[in-house]
Amino acid sequence: MVLYRAMLRTLLQRRLETAAIVVIVMVAVMGLASVKLASSYALFLSNKAWTYEVGNIIVDGSFPGPVLTEIDGLEGVQRVKLLKITLTTGEYNGEPVSVALVYNPSDSYPFSYIKEGDGRVLVFTTTGKALVNVGDRITVPGLGDVTVEGRALGVARVVSADIVLFVPKEMEEAAEGVKISAVSIVSAENVNVSKLAEQVKDVIEEGGGSVNRVTVITEEDNPARRPMEAVAESFTMFVSLALISTSLIVLGAEASLLEREVRQVGVLKAVGLSRAAVIALFGGYNLVRGLIGAVLGVLLAIPLSEKLVILGGLGPHAGVQIRILVEKFPFHPDIWSVLEILGIALLIVALVSIIPPALFYRVPTGRALRFTGLTGRTAGRLFSGRPLLAFTIRRIISRPWLALTLTVLIALSWGAVASIPMSLRGVGIIEDEIKWYNYDAVIQTAAPPSMASKVVDLALNVTGVKGAEAWLMNDGIARLNGDRLLAMTCLGEWRLTPRLVEGRWPSKGEVVVSETLSKDYGLHVGDPVTLELGGRARELKVVGVVADHRNNGRVIFLSPEDYLGVVKEDWITLHIASTGDPAYTALQVKYALIESGIPSIVLSTKEDLIEGQHQMVSFMNMVMLIVNTANTLAGFIGIGVLLAIDLAGRLRELGVLRAVGFTTAQKALLISGQIPILSLVSAPLALLLGYIISKSMLTLMEPAVGYLSPIPNVVDVIKTGWVVLGAFILGLALSAIYLRRQSTGSLLRAE
């Protein structure tokens, strides 16, 4: 009991060291816990936005009234919603616009939105920045002038149009244009959604309705899922590095403490304490500190996680109003995740607390008792006759624990930073990787596939258009040996399509596969392949291989005939290539289509596509910058703590140095001089670590940002050496500040 009291006193005496370790453990555990909790919450919200808000079964077609009641009565159906939309062309501020009039009788489901202002006509926006203001007038065929009475801030995009208006039922019915009816169904938990979708289809057809398309939306289909997981995994990787750094700091702190208190270990052994008792006494220090830090870290992570999700939005899941989602699905931390993180943290802290006293117990009692307080061994005869250099080098060798932990900490900090230029190297690379975008703009129309040649001709007649191609809005789904593939087609000439690597574009009964599929399944031009299309097996002939560009290479191209056999009805998506300004040309094409009565909207120009990729890269760069800054800070704090412990352990030695004429600056240089020397050992480790991290990052990021070249820029990698310089300056400043406050006498009297 007396000994434990003594240990407790020591713990309190080392307040600064204790505080530093508590804070470091707290920050690392908080980082890990908040990343884990926040990422799982963000993914949960994203999946909700994807499946719950839109519905996880969407049926396009026509639905006689009683059918809906029947669907509602099916087992496994949680909610049914009929949504009626009229796509039309209108005029706003003297310009032709595409207008979608949506009859949405529910205030909350599906396509949840927040109503801002009263009124029956609400302009809908998913971004919160409505193009149209309340009070504006829009001319709509069949309705005349419609005045916007309010705003609806939505969770998910309803339909593509220049202006989306929520209107009463009679207005939607009176408007002239393309009519769409859709039923959106949310299934109950643990229901076989595909089976339920078949049942819904049967009910509609038996009830006299028709079904154009049944879309089953699962969480796996969530396009934001993989990028979000990639972000979460990269965050986890970096916070794990921070946790390793923290473990090393705790290990190094205790080992350094024991290195200078080895005589005390000797005394305890001399009076008969067992190994277990010594481990308990000295390891108890860190266990207590680690426990406090870990618990505080987890407690702080809980509120932080929700804030992180709100602040960061859903990252790659753009277009979702996070505020609405958070209100609808409040944050509840998963208690098992919390306990898991706490358990991992405590296990690590316990391990690093036990190792040093267990090792120091092995120092022979006699040797431990003869320890004078001045550390240092006859660490070789390196740099014999050159005292200043020899002093620093031999001093490093004489305290291997400190040297080892400092070396690894430098490597971890440096490696994390070095991984940036090795993986994401700015946005310039995207320009090269986006070559397959050989069209300038994408225009979404409300024209059916049968109007393909008319739409293309209209576009080609616009000045500045050098090419136009009719694609379809939706991707079909095909399966190859159970592997889910996107099926695409082109309704006209295959001129602006992704780059063909080999062969030609498909006719009926033929297929073009991506490079990845060709490689993974050994498919070559001329080979037959059996694909599952529209629920049945079809044998097609491979006639070409196309460069990877979407869905991680899981893409096939079908002829329009085969594609439309899978997808009954679709809308034309027009790809155009221009000779001049793509944005201007695309707008002219849109006007031409609208004037011909085809509701259309410019989805994106090539610049938008590139910008989208840039934004993704910028987002990932920001993610890496944040986590690397945190990681480097953690590393620096660790280096600072260890240097402070080193200083505290060599006070008398420093006093002697000052007595023989060393100035404070020279002594600080001796202390901090360890860092550049150790960095020579850290450098290969840091570069290897940076390479491993960057490789992992590339693997994680590829689906999110495209295809990145793994060739690092050597100069940029070398520049990351600023980490060492930073650590050196930090060490210099810390040592100088500390030593300035100590008189030579007090140093010489130090224990």
How far apart are the C-alpha atoms of 654 and 738, rounded to whole Å?
A: 12
Which of 5/381 has CB closer to other proteins? 381
387 binds other proteins (CB under 8 A): yes
Complex with other proteins: residue 190 or 372, whichever CB lies closer: 372
DSSP codes, 139-194: EETTTEEEE--EEEEESS-----SEEEEE-HHHHHHS-SEEEEEEEEEEPTT--HH
Which residue of 1, 660, 711, 715 would you call a contact of other proteins, by CB under 8 A? Answer: 660
User: What tokens appear for 103 in the block?
Assistant: 């009859």
Closer of 172 and 653 to other proteins (Cβ):
653
Q: What is the DSSP letter of 473?
A: S
CB of 260 to other proteins, least distance (A): 13
CA 605, CA 475: separation in Å to the nearest integer?
20
Closest to other proteins by CB, 332 or 749: 749
CB of residue 398 vs other proteins: minimum separation in angstroms? 6
CB count in 10 Å sphere of residue 395: 22
Smallest distance from other proteins to CB 387, Å: 4
User: If binding is defined by CB under 8 A, does position 391 make contact with other proteins?
Assistant: yes
Is residue 652 near other proteins by the rule CB under 8 A? yes
What are the CA-CA distances from residue 271 to residues 4, 279, 369, 370 (Å)?
Answer: 15, 15, 12, 15
Nearer to other proteins by Cβ, of 188 and 388: the residue is 388
When the beta carbons of 188 and 382 are compared against other proteins, the nearer one is 382
Q: Is 743 in the site for other proteins (CB under 8 A)?
A: yes
Taking CB under 8 A as the rule, does residue 658 contact other proteins? Answer: yes
Q: Name the residue nearer to other proteins (CB basis): 195 or 377.
A: 377
374 binds other proteins (CB under 8 A): yes
Least distance from C-beta 648 to other proteins, angstroms? 17
Nearer to other proteins, 208 or 364 (CB): 364
With contacts defined by CB under 8 A, name the span among 13-21, 233-241, 400-408, 664-672 that binds other proteins. Answer: 664-672
Nearer to other proteins, 471 or 662 (CB): 662
Does the footprint of other proteins cover residue 376 (CB under 8 A)? yes
- Contact segment (CB under 8 A) with other proteins among 83-91, 93-101, 574-582, 649-657 equals 649-657
Tell me how far, at minimum, the Cβ of 391 lies from other proteins, in Å.
6
Q: Is-cis flag, bond preceding 110, omega within 30?
A: yes
The residue (of 377 and 504) whose beta carbon lies closer to other proteins is 377
378-386 LR contacts (CB < 8 Å, sep 24+): none
d(CA 91, CA 107): 27
- Candidates 186, 488, 657, 704; binder of other proteins (CB under 8 A) is 657
Gap between the Cα atoms of 518 and 502, Å rounded: 11
502 pairs with which residues across the strands? Answer: 545
User: Which residue number, 358 or 748, has a Cβ lying nearer to other proteins?
Assistant: 748
Candidate segments 268-276, 526-534, 595-603, 659-667, binder of other proteins by CB under 8 A: 659-667
Residue 395 makes contact with other proteins by CB under 8 A: yes
Q: What are the backbone angles phi and psi of residue 150, rounded to the nearest 5°?
A: -165, -175
**Residue whose CB is less far from other proteins, 332 or 386:** 386
Distance CA 706, CA 623 (A): 17
* Least distance to other proteins, CB of residue 644, Å: 20
DSSP for 255-322, written as a single string: HHHHHHSHHHHHHHHHTT--HHHHHHHHHHHHHHHHHHHHHHHHHHHHHHHHHHHHHHTTTT-TT--H
Q: Which listed range, 472-480, 577-585, 651-659, 686-694, lies at the site for other proteins (CB under 8 A)?
A: 651-659
Q: Find the binder of other proteins among 65, 372, 428, 751 (CB under 8 A).
A: 372
**Is residue 385 involved in binding other proteins (CB under 8 A)?**
yes
Element (DSSP H or E) covering residue 109 = none
Place of tokens 């550390």: 375
* Separation between Cα atoms, residue 612 and residue 602, nearest integer Å: 15
Interaction between residue 662 and other proteins (CB under 8 A) = yes
Stretch that binds other proteins, among 299-307, 505-513, 722-730, 737-745 (CB under 8 A): 737-745
Among 351, 659, 718, 729, binds other proteins (CB under 8 A): 659
To other proteins, the closest distance from the beta carbon of 678 in angstroms equals: 16
Q: Which is nearer to other proteins, 320 or 403 (CB)?
A: 403
Between CA 259 and CA 257 the distance in angstroms is 5
CB of 408 to other proteins, least distance (A): 22
- The yes or no reply on residue 384 touching other proteins (CB under 8 A) is yes
Q: 335 Cβ partners below 8 Å, 6+ apart?
A: none
* Residues 155, 414: Cα–Cα separation, whole Å: 41
CB of 427 vs other proteins, minimal distance in Å? 50
Task: Select from 232, 153, 186 the least CA-distant residue to 50.
Answer: 186
- Crossing angle of helices 225-260 and 674-705, in 10° steps, is 160
Dist. CA 285–CA 281, nearest whole Å: 7
When the beta carbons of 368 and 555 are compared against other proteins, the nearer one is 368
Q: Does 379 bind other proteins (CB under 8 A)?
A: yes
By CB under 8 A, residue 190 contacts other proteins: no
- Our separate counts of H helices and E strands in the chain read 25, 22
Which segment (260-268, 379-387, 485-493, 554-562) binds other proteins by CB under 8 A?
379-387
Q: Which of 460, 488, 459, 458 is nearest to 473 (CA)?
A: 488
Q: Does 15 bind other proteins (CB under 8 A)?
A: no
138 or 732: CB nearest other proteins = 732
Based on the shown chain and the rule CB under 8 A, indicate whether residue 398 belongs to the binding site for other proteins: yes
Asked if 408 contacts 685 with a C-beta cutoff of 8 angstroms, the reply is yes
Cα 561 off chain centre by: 39
Q: Is 736 in the site for other proteins (CB under 8 A)?
A: no
Contact residues toward other proteins (CB under 8 A) are 372, 374-379, 381, 384-388, 390-391, 394-395, 398, 652-653, 656-666, 740, 743-745, 748
